[in-house]
Structures are given as C-alpha cells and as structure tokens.
Structure 1
Amino acid sequence: MLLTISPSLAASWQTRVNYGGNTPMDLYVPDKVDASPGVVVSLHYCSGNAGNAHGWFQGLADQHGFLIITPQAGGNCFDATPARSGEREAITKMVQYAITQHHADPTRVFAAGASSGACMTNALLAAYPDVFAGGSVLAGVPAGAWTGGNAYGWTTPANRTAAQWGDIVRKASPNFTGARPRVQLWHGTADTTLNYEPNFAAEVSQWSDVLGLSHSDSKTSTFKGSPDTWNRASFTNAAGTLVLESNYAQGAPHDLSGRGLWADAVRFFGLDMDAPSTGEGAGGADGTGGSDASGGGSSASGAGGQGGSASGAGGQGGSANGATSGTGGDASGSTGSGATTGGAAQGTGGATTGGSTSNASGSTASGDSDPTTTGGDSASDDGGCSFSVASSGQLPGGALVGLLVAGLGAVVRRRRQSAA
C-alpha cells in the first residue's frame, strides 16, 4: 500500500491573540513543546513592535520546547513604571493565558528585553515577583528610574543608595514574602542612550540589596562573546543558588540585541535543560538550520572562562575552543546552540530587522536622532530608547528566523494516527 507524503508546515506565530486584555499579544508555540513548557516574555525596544522581538528566542524555543510571548507597547516605548497595573498587569494576563491554554509551567516564567524592553523587564520583576522567576536585562535602567510612561524618559540619581533602590522594588509588591526573581544584567560601556553610568551600577546595587547579597557572594570572570569580551560577576545566595549575574563589556553599544546574548539568557533561566516533550514534527532546529560558530561563536576564553551550559555559579568551565552550534541553532544564523558547550554561541551572520535608531544621551528625551532603518519593520523614532549607531557603526539587530518543515518520520506517524 502506497502512502502519499505531503509536507507539514512548522510552527508559526499567532498574532494578536485574544487573551482577555487590551495590550496586543503575539504567541509562539514550537512544534516540539515540553509537556509543561517554560515561558519567555520577549520585550521589544522603543520605536519597535512585537514582531521585532519574535526572532530573539524562536530558534532556542524550537530547540528547548518553551513558549514565547511578545507584547506590543501601547506607545513608542513600554511603560516601565514598577506598579501592579497597566501594561505590566496585561502581560501577567498573557502569561496566565499560556499557563491555562498550553499547560505552561507557572514556576518557569521569565522576562527578557532590550532597551525599553530591558526597562520593562526590571519593572515586571519588581511588580510581579509572584509571576516571574527571573529576567534578563539588556541595557536598561533600574526599576523606578523610568519616568516617561509610554514615551522616552528616565532619571537615575547617582546619589541614591542601594537600600533606597531596593525599597522601590519592595514597595512595588509590598505584600510579597517569597523568593525574589533571579536577575541577569547586561550593559555596554559605550551606551549613550541609557547610559552605562549611572544605570548599570544602580541596577547592580538595587538587585543586590533586594536579594540580600554582598560582594563576598560573587565570583568574577571574563568570557569572549561575539564580538565583545564580557566581565561577569556571579552572585550566589546562602543556599548556593545563582541569583544575580552582572555583565559589562568595554566599548559595547546600547543595542545588544544582535550580540549573541539570548542563548546565554536561556542558560541563565535554566530553559536549556531538556524536558519530556509532546507533539511531533521537526520543531527543534537541527544542524542544517543552526548557525556556524566559526569566527562568531563565544569561546570560554581565559582561566575560569564562563561556559554557556553550566547552570551553577556563573556557569564556569566549558570548552576552551568555543561553543559550536552544529545542532539546535537559530535558523536565521543569529544564535547557536551554545547550551551544550562553553559560552553563548552566536553565528557569523545574525539577521537584522527594522526599527529606527537614535543617538539620545543623558536623562532627557532630547538628542540627535538618526532614523536609519534596515529591512523588516520600521518605525519613526522620537529620541527614545531605541538603538544608537553612533558608537558601533552597526544597525539594529533583529531576527528573521526561517521556518523548518516537518521530517519524514513525523509525517508518517501523523498519517498513521489519522488512518487509525
């Protein structure tokens, strides 16, 4: 008996999902999803949109079986006020939708974003520690420093103490008594949009105070990314759990979205640990879709270099010859697997997507804007927390991720099931 074979489309994004709120929501459910998947809320930058944050984690979700939610800001930027209301409350409803409709694990919900999305990540971790288990902040300001609502605006007083910064977080969720979310911070010293100083130091002080940490709780190391060398401090609590990771790179610009850090965020979240999966199909990207780490992968260089896969304090160790991404990479070539060998891998290419750029500086909305765009979606920029090209000479990185078709074995199994 002959069996007619027809290709099956891989997973695609569900846009403008009706979850019961007004803030627009896009949702990605990979073909091969964990039985109780984790969730990553991926938050775009100012002058961007939900689509700009689609590709950051898509290849990693295909590989590791977690869900992605991308909200759309109500204005040019997310309102990163640390309060249990507004866009932040809407995002928690999106998370609840994923938990209810897709059996997501409520203990493995994370937020991550760049620029405005980074600011929003800090606000979500502060206001909803009962929802989020952790977050990764790529070039943001501490919770409480965002003053612009849905427009660009921030003020970070240099003389505010760690306790005062910590109080902002505690007051955002005054009745919370449980374990606080784990936090990963990233900043480049050449950031002139959400300036490296005083923002990075204030973020580290804020979360160190909230998590009850001191310098004695940290271990320092360096690792080579693509193309930056990152200085990392890994903080563990009394139980030996990694709860705070701070990373800065000399000369790195404001736009960190295309610099190979998303795989390291997944490592920090622990979502690179494979779990039993459901469904069929070729949802997990294979070597043909993955990126090649040659010339672009992150190597665990230096004594005690950071490994991309280890989930212990700082993820030390890893392969001295870098993270190859022959399996499970991002089909766009922006990120490699990086979860099984040292370092956060990034391919040599890395797709770029739309969005306009700015060269705003200081704590006001003023600044010369450079509305340069490249491909994909684009939007006008009013000097917000979008990506500056002045320091790096590079255009904003987004991600356009190719869809994979289902394998022959998966199709056959589906045909057999339908025949039964």
Structure 2
Amino acid sequence: MHLPTLATLAAMVTVGTAQLTKVNDFPGTPTRLGMYINVPKNLKTPAPIIVAVHHCQGSATGYSQSTKYVQLSNQYGFIAIYPNSRSGGGCFDVASQATLTHNGGGDSQTIVNMVKYAIDKYGGDPTRVFSVGTSSGAMMTNVLMAAYPDVFAAGSVYSGVPAGCFAVQGSTATQDPPGWANSCANGQLTKTAQQWGDLVRSYYPGYNGTRPRMQIFHGTSDNTLRYPNYQEQLKEWSNVLGLTTSTNKANTPKSGWTQTIYGDGTATTAKLVGYSAQGVGHSVPQQEAMDLAFFGIN
C-alpha cells in the first residue's frame, strides 16, 4: 500500500471531524473529473471502496458534507471516493455513447479510473468496490453497474432512472454533458424488463461474469425524476440479474416505506432490493447504514 505524499494532496476539506482530500496527481482522464478521497488511518488491508456520486448542482465536497460516508470510512476502514463533476450544472454524463460503453470513455470511465487509482495507490480491494449516488449520481451509479460489472460488486441508488434511460429518449449530443431528457425524467419512458436488460447487456458485449447487486430507493412524490422510474429500474435489474419473483413487505424499514426483495435472500444478501418511500419527494434521504449493510461492510 502506498500512502499519499504531500505532493499528491491539495486542500483539505473539513467534513465534521473528518477531512476530504483532493488528489492532485489523478490525471482526470478521459473527462477531467475531479477526484476527492478519504483514506482513513485505520485502513483495512485490502480496503473496500465506496464511490459516492453527487447530484446535479452539487459537488464532491458538498455531497461529502450531506452524507456520512467519510465518517463511516474512518469508522470502518474503507476508502471513500467522491468524484466532482466538471459541468457547469454539476451533472454527470449518463447519456453519451462513450459513457455507456465499456472502456468507451465518458465520465463513467473516468470514475472507474479513480477506482483503479485507489486500488494501486492506497491498497483498495478490487473485489469489494461499490457505488452510491443521488439523482444524477444515482443515474451514474446505474451506468457504472451496467457498463462496468467487472469493476463494481454492488450499487445503491437514490431517486434515479434506469441505465440508458436518458440516452434512449435522445438527449442533445452537442451538450456537454448531454442534456436533460424530459420523457425519461417525467416517467413517460417505459420498456419491458427484457428490453431494459438487453440495453444494459449492450454496454459490455460478451460479458458473462457476475453482475452487481442492486439496492434502489425512490419516493412516490418525486417531481424531478418521477416515480415510474422506480419500477423501470426494478424491471431493468431484475432482468439483468435473472430474477423473476419478488416479495413485498409494508412499513419497512420505516412507516410508509415498502420493501421489495427479488429472488432469494434477505435485505442485506439478496441480489436486488427496492424501497418505495410513500410521500417522499426528490430525493430520498441517504440511508448510509443500510448501504454499508447491503455492501457487507462492518
């Protein structure tokens, strides 16, 4: 394991009692995203990695302050990576052909390069890489799970849309990153589970390995990325993961929420788990303890 030197570090951003570090020698390729990281003193060997991807009009530092992954990184000894969008609106590219193609470029590959950097530099565990995200970050997490199933073991998404949904609608390719897709955001774009699954599989043709486990949160009163996107995500990943049965449990984990477990297993071991949050808008509040439990970090 190689610890960062002073030459590799930039300004330290205080997050409660923790500090988030900008990595200066990360090249940012191919799309020049900023890389912020927390490498705890009690780092496990090898260390799990959680990538936490912010929402539109957000930032790495802002997301680190509104979530608890940095503090939990210090508690449990995992590496926390916070990518920082380069776009003026703070969104990530989840729609271009490059970002939706394995090793095709785009923001998705830049984030994967952050993971590889953390594995090489800080002793990250390549078998225990996870991603969480909110809104645009949830969309990116879905994209990462779809295009890079060889890198990520699991994802947890808060108020997102299916992988490829913005591209299917046809956003403006000349925008950087590609622009907003109204029909998808409004929950008007529906496909069969097979169609969604085929779309995901097209992002890494020929891949026959294990697919990431997925945990999906969505609020019924979401007026930004509307609630039908919840079922579309579940359809997508149930097909990708080969799951055909599901079980609902009301008022779980809290009143008004409905938990759906696909296939066998529990909320922490199943391949696909969904949470519908009655009356919750955009976005569902982060459930960090549930994320760590789903990822098997303890």
Q: Look up the match of 1:90.
A: 110
Q: Does residue 1:45 correspond to 2:76, yes or no?
A: no
Q: Look up the match of 1:153.
A: 181
Residue aligned with 2:198, SS = helix
Distance in 1 between residues matched to 2:182 and 2:114, nearest whole Å: 27
Q: 2:219 aligns with which of 188, 198, 209?
A: 188
Per-residue deviation at 1:83? 2.5
Per-residue deviation at 1:236? 3.4
Q: Look up the match of 1:176.
A: 207
Question: What letter matches 2:243 in structure 1?
Answer: L
- Deviation per CA, 1:251-287, whole angstroms, max 9, x where unpaired? 011122xx35122111111112xxxxxxxxxxxxxxx
Per-residue deviation at 1:15? 1.1
Kindly indicate whether the alpha-carbon contact (under 8 Å) linking 1:139 and 1:187 is maintained by their aligned counterparts in 2: yes
Per-residue deviation at 1:223? 4.3
Distance in 2 between residues matched to 1:234 and 1:31, nearest whole Å: 36
**If the length of structure 2 is used for normalisation, what is the TM-score?**
0.80
Distance in 2 between residues matched to 1:89 and 1:119, nearest whole Å: 14
Distance in 2 between residues matched to 1:71 and 1:150, nearest whole Å: 18
Q: Which runs of 5+ in 2 are unaligned?
A: 1-13, 172-176
Q: In the superposition, relative to structure 1, how do residues 159 and 32 fare at CA in structure 2: closer, same or farther (>3 Å)?
A: closer
Distance in 1 between residues matched to 2:78 and 2:251, nearest whole Å: 27
Per-residue deviation at 1:221? 1.8
Q: Look up the match of 1:356.
A: none
Task: Tell me which structure has the larger Cα radius of gyration.
Answer: 1
- Deviation per CA, 1:72-125, whole angstroms, max 9, x where unpaired? 112121111322321111111100011011111101101110001001110110
Q: 1:80 aligns with which of 94, 103, 123?
A: 94
Q: Look up the match of 1:364.
A: none
- Deviation per CA, 1:108-157, whole angstroms, max 9, x where unpaired? 10111000100111011000001111100100000111244454335335
Q: Look up the match of 1:393.
A: none
Q: Does residue 1:104 correspond to 2:124, yes or no?
A: yes
Distance in 1 between residues matched to 2:253 and 2:271, nearest whole Å: 22
Q: 1:244 aligns with which of 269, 272, 276?
A: 272
Q: Look up the match of 1:263.
A: 289
Q: Look up the match of 2:174.
A: none
Distance in 2 between residues matched to 1:96 and 1:17, nearest whole Å: 15
Distance in 2 between residues matched to 1:225 and 1:205, nearest whole Å: 22
Higher relative contact order (CA 8 A, sep 6+): 1
Percentage identity across aligned positions?
38
Per-residue deviation at 1:224? 5.2
Q: 2:235 aligns with which of 198, 202, 205?
A: 205
The structure with the largest helix share of the pair is 2
Distance in 1 between residues matched to 2:127 and 2:164, nearest whole Å: 25
Q: Look up the match of 1:339.
A: none
Residue aligned with 1:38, SS = strand
Q: Look up the match of 1:323.
A: none
Kindly indicate whether the alpha-carbon contact (under 8 Å) linking 2:165 and 2:189 is maintained by their aligned counterparts in 1: no
- Deviation per CA, 1:186-230, whole angstroms, max 9, x where unpaired? 000000000002x11110100001111012xx332234557x532
Per-residue deviation at 1:234? 1.4
Q: Look up the match of 1:229.
A: 256
Q: Does residue 1:220 correspond to 2:230, yes or no?
A: no
The structure with the largest strand share of the pair is 2
Distance in 1 between residues matched to 2:257 and 2:72, nearest whole Å: 22
Per-residue deviation at 1:40? 0.6
Question: What letter matches 1:230 in structure 2?
Answer: W
Structure-to-structure mapping, 1:312-391, within 5 angstroms: none
Q: Does residue 1:25 correspond to 2:53, yes or no?
A: no
Question: What letter matches 2:151 in structure 1?
Answer: V
Kindly indicate whether the alpha-carbon contact (under 8 Å) linking 2:158 and 2:286 is maintained by their aligned counterparts in 1: no
Distance in 2 between residues matched to 1:252 and 1:26, nearest whole Å: 30
Tell me whether 150-159 or 30-39 shows the greater mean CA deviation.
150-159
- Deviation per CA, 1:391-416, whole angstroms, max 9, x where unpaired? xxxxxxxxxxxxxxxxxxxxxxxxxx
Q: In the superposition, relative to structure 1, how do residues 46 and 150 fare at CA in structure 2: closer, same or farther (>3 Å)?
A: farther
Q: Look up the match of 2:81.
A: 69
Residue aligned with 1:254, SS = coil
Residue aligned with 1:146, SS = helix
Q: Look up the match of 1:13.
A: 20
Measured on the aligned residues, the alpha-carbon RMSD in Å equals 2.1
Residue aligned with 2:199, SS = helix
Distance in 1 between residues matched to 2:156 and 2:182, nearest whole Å: 19
Q: In the superposition, relative to structure 1, how do residues 11 and 17 fare at CA in structure 2: closer, same or farther (>3 Å)?
A: farther
Per-residue deviation at 1:17? 3.5
Kindly indicate whether the alpha-carbon contact (under 8 Å) linking 1:41 and 1:70 is maintained by their aligned counterparts in 2: yes
The total of aligned residue pairs comes to: 257
